[in-house]
Amino acid sequence: MANHLHVILMAGGEGTRFAPLSTPERPKQFLDFFGQGSFLQQTFQRLEPLTTPERVYVSTQERYIALVEEQLPRIPQQNIIAEIQKKNTAPALAYMTREILGRDPEAIVASFPSDQVIDRIPRFQEIVRHAAMIAQQEQRIVTIGILPEWPSTDYGYIQIDDLLGNQHVATHKVRAFVEKPNAAVAESYLEAGTYLWNAGMFVFPAKVLLAEIKTYLPEIDALLSDFVHTMAYCREFFTRTPSISIDHGIMEHSKRIAVVKADFGWSDIGTWEGLKYFVERTGARLHSDVEKAMREMLARRP
């Protein structure tokens, strides 16, 4: 399995929710909040034991390539792919997956946001391995869903269906992907116990994702039919491709989805309030400049 596991780090976001620390020139994924490396570096470090640097890829914007090369020097330069125009997650994953398939026809691909925090790294690695096994055995797209801790209105949700076999990690078929709810609906999801947070983590056979793209996103598939590994093709692809998320384009329609329940202490720390909650919950120590900025920004809130 490890010989065919390829990892994509999605690092193209321009997040400025942590201004003034986060800027369009150096967004959150490239910042170090805790003195343990940037969010991008920590994401790479917890995934590297599952594969090799040669099978790790980064999808980012052209202006961030130098930052990626600086922070992840062990990743081959040809594995850093620039989105010439930001067109959301479906085109980026389609392009990267087609690139990987050309190198490894049996590839299992695992895609992760680059700005999340994981508390229990060994458990995270166990669940990723399990998701890769299910993806290979069942020929499905496997998403990793987070057991919700409160009725959040900040995340989309995954409604689970029947168990998928007798697995040592709870694995379900998926009934539906649902948009970010209002407070009352989020409360009902938590009470129902059949909904997970959608954290944007996906594991899949490369061939399966590309087959689903052919079915549900034919415009993107048509562009991939001329795939060649050149900068000119990359520019043309991201210029012409429609802009759509992987959730709207594939996950809400495909019949080949499974979800693994995750309990590894996850947070995307998307706001100053979220950072404060994370620090209070975990006891994590912030860089002094980050702590100062957090206090100043929270003091301005009504």
Given pLDDT bands bounded at 50, 70 and 90, which one contains residue 116? very high
The rounded distance, in Å, linking the Cα atoms of 61 and 58 is 10
State which residues form the domain around 185: 2-293
List residues bridging with 60 in a β-sheet. 82
What H or E segment, with its residue span, contains residue 267? strand 266-267
Mean of the pLDDT values across residues 208-218? 98
Q: How many domains does the chain have?
A: 1
Establish if 302 belongs to a structural domain. Answer: no
Token pair for 264: 């590894």
Establish if 149 belongs to a structural domain. Answer: yes
Query: How high is the pLDDT of residue 273?
Result: 86
- The answer, as to whether pTM is greater than 0.75, is yes
Query: How high is the pLDDT of residue 139?
Result: 97
Establish if 298 belongs to a structural domain. Answer: no
The rounded distance, in Å, linking the Cα atoms of 255 and 74 is 37
Establish if 301 belongs to a structural domain. Answer: no
In whole numbers, what is the pLDDT of the chain averaged over residues? 94
Establish if 9 belongs to a structural domain. Answer: yes
Mean of the pLDDT values across residues 169-197? 95
pLDDT tens profile 131-149 = 999 999 999 999 999 999 8
- The radius of gyration of the chain's CA atoms, rounded to the nearest angstrom, is 19
Rounded to whole angstroms, what are the CA distances from 204 to 5, 65, 134, 302? 10, 26, 9, 44
Given pLDDT bands bounded at 50, 70 and 90, which one contains residue 2? low
Establish if 118 belongs to a structural domain. Answer: yes
Rounded to whole angstroms, what are the CA distances from 286 to 8, 17, 271, 282, 298? 27, 17, 15, 11, 15
The rounded distance, in Å, linking the Cα atoms of 76 and 147 is 35
Establish if 87 belongs to a structural domain. Answer: yes
Query: How high is the pLDDT of residue 22?
Result: 93
Establish if 299 belongs to a structural domain. Answer: no
- Report which of residues 108 and 13 the model is more confident about: 108
- Residue 163 sits in a domain whose CATH number is 3.90.550.10
pLDDT tens profile 247-279 = 999 999 999 999 999 999 999 888 888 899 889
